[in-house]
Structure 1
Amino acid sequence: MSRKKTLSRKKFLQQIGLGIGAVGTGFFFPNVLAAGIGSTKRSGAPKKILVLGAGLAGLSAAWELRKAGHEVTVLEARNRAGGRVSTLRKPFAEGLYAEEGAAAFSGSYTHALKFIDEFGLEKTPWAMPEKPIIYHLNGEKMTVAAGETVKWPYEMTEEEQKLGPFGIVNKYLIETLPKEMTQPDKWDQPPLLQMDKVSLGEYLKNQGASEGAVKLVKNTMWFAAMPDETSGLSTAVSDFGLFMSGAPFFTLKGGNDLLPKEMASRLKDHIKYGSAVTAVKDTAEGVLVTTTEAGTAKEYKADEVIVTIPVKVLQKIRFEPELSQAKRKAIEEMPVLNLTRTYLEVDRPFWQDEGLSGLAYTDLLLGQVEPHINQNSPDSSPAILDSYVTGETAGNLGELQEKDVINEVKKQMKKIYPDVDEHFKKGHVKAWSTDPYALGGPSWPGPGDVSSYLTDLQRPEGKIHFAGEHTSVLRSTMEGALRSGVRAANEINQNS
């Protein structure tokens, strides 16, 4: 189909209400990512391999290595698998849950789909809101129904006012991004490489977007939360070329963590939880990994190692010999996205009394608001209002005590739902920047960071290999993490 095929305004408004961007881009971009990264067979004798980290990257690496006949042990600091794929069930009412990290899958996630289908996990389509959405922007609160024309509170051209958020994305991004965005292996070649030189904000303005239009996109699109600190290349390849080329989007019924849980259950004899890595030493005889387990140091030996630990945590691990200067620089300077989510459990989805969807986009401290409802009894059971905050504000929130964050978010939430206090039951906060095994959300390259650091982040050093979403051009995606693990496993298989 033509990349410039248009959808109805009603469809646009429904799609922008998803909170994950433009669902309709599946109509514009052919999904040419299906081939993904294939696995390879072992070319020599089996080896003893240590995989550091049981997130999706570590699990996929272990899976491939086990399939190739290697002896594999996964060392995981937490008491669970999944890393930043984490579904929150406690302390909420029975049957109620919300995602702490990775929010949704795309139909373009070939590696994820391979596991999801093999395990028989049930998909839940990401429902498009039919009811009105609340916007609180530039001091003005608006309730917008699908198909309704509104006056957006920013200085924009007459055309941009008529287009609205999704129409602006369509005009300045969808219709202008190079077709190579669906070919991630070409990230280091023109025209994609040039896109890494500019921020998303600069790119939009270069296409003719006004300052007000950029602000509107910033406050209504998750991928544009930090437009001046986001690589145009990352937006093109990861957000549009990968994620949005694979509509329809979906979650896993029961929680997205069911994928890593199922992978881990089938590797259970090969995963050691509560093993926090402190040092990695490459020797002539192999690799020696030191961990702390229940306060006691322990050593593991292997022929080779795959490190899938988040990039900020990686800075705290001692390597012998010291990693190359280029590798250290890449690890130290690759940005990550600060992310703080605050969950307010309420006695029921009271916003439905006013015929609202529960979804809100704001430039307030509480960021974007998403509702989570018990699907078994959606009208009367307890529900959640989830405040999703990124960037500097998220970092500042994360430094506060939980009760103070909940109180502040509740105070801000009253600007959206004035009677939230009457329904509030309990709150919970997840600040990824204070999680000792993450120290932030996913990698979030700024202008120039992909071309400066990605190759060095991927490159093995001696017998030490590296994976994780931060080593993939498909940054901040579950698919990027899975593919990175396969890539690292292939490096070992090809040299075995």
Structure 2
Amino acid sequence: MKGNEQSGISRKDFVKQFSLGLGALGTGVFFPNMLSANFVEGTTLNPKKVLVIGAGLSGLAAAWELKNSGHQVTLIEARSRPGGRVSTIREPFADGLYAEEGAAAYSSSYTHALKFINEFGLEKIPLAFPDTAITYHLNGNIINVKPGETVNWPYNLTAEEQELGPMGLVQKYILNTLPNEIGMPHMWDKAPLIHLDQISLEEYLKKQGASEGAVKLIKNTQWFAEVPGSTSGLSMAVSDSGLFMGGTPFILKGGNDSLPRELAKSMKDNINYNTVVSKIYDDGNKVIVSARQDGRIKDFTADKVVATFPLKVLENIDFKPSLSPEKKKAIKDIPVINLTRTYVQVDSPFWMENNVSGMAFTDLPVGNITPIVNSNGISDKPAILESIVAGPSAPRLESQDKEKTITRMKSEMKKLYPDIGEHFMKGHVKGWSTDPYALGGPSWPAPGDVTSHLRNLQEPHGNIHFAGEHTSILRSTMEGALRSGVRAAKEIHENV
């Protein structure tokens, strides 16, 4: 969610908002912050020449830690910018408008992110609750829910479930039932957390007594429940409930890419952009990385390599010697969740005239909708309605012409905002499965995947170390990416 700056929310107000079904929120109420930071310590007496592949958050964190510890670091990045899937777009929007193509929010529980955010003095903007109605399109019904209003949710729910609403259901069936260890990600491979990997989010909800209708309501209103039957209960518990919802969510003023841009700026002399890696050869003494840079093949040589390719890109890299069968299987088997984001710019936030927030949760092909307004909240300036479609339908959207996607999403939005055609200016589409340097959204382990594959994803391959959110129990988060980069840096620094 996005909104104007606010100082925080009291427990009383939080519980009140829970009953409104506003979607996932960082709370800082139910879970203590047990996510301790663990960075590289000391300056090396035996500096290594390290090549970091990828200038996303994981690569930037690894490079930062290694450089500050005395190692000789070079970063190579396929794109012309840093950040990877942390991507803030400012074009083609009107002046003052920007939107996030990738990672949507940080949390005050993100210890590693906070270290870097504070290091660069970046301004945090807490996410605010809308003070006008949120729109729901569920099971053929359109409902505008005002703050404090009780509504009839259009599913077969128990009387208690009806009273609770979407976030009340999350509180009852998830937050109140998970073990305290969800705030201790290092405990992921021990009881009681490890047992959660054997069941899906949907199975977990039903074990706690959730009705079929409650599962559907949670699915259509919560970002982490898009594919409840294919989501590891462990990943949901640690990454979504214990981490993100264990703190207050916020965005960075000027865009979430402010963090990777500042990290990259501090290492600008160490970064090579527009450099696409194809082969990595480790002869036991040094590593040779072959890449295409400005249309020509260029080889980079290093003592150690940190590889931060996204999962589906990693499948296409030629490693010699070949990766272990266990690592290959892990790379192939771990799913990613595909995301298509469509941005419809309008000449003004016209929905305000009807006393609705512009935010919508739906079971329509348009997915969920977030309003993005001028940072000063000026009502007569252009604004954006952003559609987020996640899961199996996203790649199908991306396979068609972008103008067709914009037209279709605008048509779906018209069911919620009948006047949108009169205000439409332009559109933009970001499909992550068609992005050649991502080939999909973040990792999304299914039941059993964490137990079977996480250790193999983390394991070094000779002089090649691996990082990325998919190598962290904190999957699909910026914090997970940062921590994975620090972990890879520590492996190199402490074993030189």
C-alpha distance in structure 1 between counterparts of 2:485 and 2:344, whole Å: 35
Please tell me whether residue 23 in structure 1 is matched to residue 26 in structure 2. yes
Deviation at 1:284, TM superposition (A): 3.1
Quote the residue 1:10 is aligned against.
Answer: 16
Quote the residue 1:425 is aligned against.
Answer: 425
Please tell me whether residue 186 in structure 1 is matched to residue 200 in structure 2. no
**Once the two structures are superposed, what CA deviation does each residue of 1:66-85 show, in whole Å capped at 9, x if it has no partner?**
01111100010000000000
Deviation at 1:156, TM superposition (A): 1.1
C-alpha distance in structure 2 between counterparts of 1:487 and 1:433, whole Å: 27
Deviation at 1:37, TM superposition (A): 2.3
Quote the residue 1:440 is aligned against.
Answer: 440
Quote the residue 2:3 is aligned against.
Answer: none
Deviation at 1:9, TM superposition (A): 5.4
Is contact 1:442-1:470 (8 Å) kept?
yes
Quote the residue 1:411 is aligned against.
Answer: 411
C-alpha distance in structure 2 between counterparts of 1:431 and 1:69, whole Å: 39
C-alpha distance in structure 2 between counterparts of 1:430 and 1:466, whole Å: 27
Aligned length: 486
**Once the two structures are superposed, what CA deviation does each residue of 1:411-464 show, in whole Å capped at 9, x if it has no partner?**
100110011000000000000000000001111111111111100000001000
Deviation at 1:216, TM superposition (A): 0.1
Please tell me whether residue 364 in structure 1 is matched to residue 364 in structure 2. yes
C-alpha distance in structure 2 between counterparts of 1:148 and 1:165, whole Å: 13
Deviation at 1:377, TM superposition (A): 5.0
**Once the two structures are superposed, what CA deviation does each residue of 1:183-207 show, in whole Å capped at 9, x if it has no partner?**
1111111111110000101000000
TM-score (norm 1): 0.96
Quote the residue 2:73 is aligned against.
Answer: 72
Unaligned runs of 5+ in 1: none
**Once the two structures are superposed, what CA deviation does each residue of 1:322-346 show, in whole Å capped at 9, x if it has no partner?**
0000000011111111000000000
**Once the two structures are superposed, what CA deviation does each residue of 1:135-160 show, in whole Å capped at 9, x if it has no partner?**
00011111111111111111111111
Please tell me whether residue 313 in structure 1 is matched to residue 313 in structure 2. yes
Is contact 1:131-1:145 (8 Å) kept?
yes
Computed over aligned residues only, the root mean square deviation of the Cα atoms, in angstroms, reads 1.2
In structure 1, give the amino acid aligned to 2:17. K
C-alpha distance in structure 1 between counterparts of 2:289 and 2:222, whole Å: 42
Deviation at 1:7, TM superposition (A): 6.0
C-alpha distance in structure 1 between counterparts of 2:324 and 2:245, whole Å: 36
Quote the residue 1:491 is aligned against.
Answer: 491
Quote the residue 1:300 is aligned against.
Answer: 300
Alignment of 1:66-465 (within 5 A): 66-247=67-248, 249-376=249-376, 378-465=378-465
Deviation at 1:240, TM superposition (A): 1.1
TM-score (norm 2): 0.96
In structure 1, give the amino acid aligned to 2:171. N
**Once the two structures are superposed, what CA deviation does each residue of 1:147-185 show, in whole Å capped at 9, x if it has no partner?**
111111111111111111111111110110011111111
Deviation at 1:258, TM superposition (A): 0.6
Unaligned runs of 5+ in 2: 1-10
Deviation at 1:6, TM superposition (A): 7.3
Is contact 1:78-1:274 (8 Å) kept?
yes
Could you tell me the percent identity over the aligned residues? 58
C-alpha distance in structure 2 between counterparts of 1:222 and 1:232, whole Å: 15
Change (3 A) 1:294 1:13: farther
Deviation at 1:285, TM superposition (A): 3.0
**Once the two structures are superposed, what CA deviation does each residue of 1:296-333 show, in whole Å capped at 9, x if it has no partner?**
11101000100011010000100000000000001111
Please tell me whether residue 482 in structure 1 is matched to residue 482 in structure 2. yes
Is contact 2:307-2:464 (8 Å) kept?
yes
Quote the residue 2:4 is aligned against.
Answer: none
Q: Tell me the secondary structure at the aligned position of residue 279 of structure 1.
A: strand
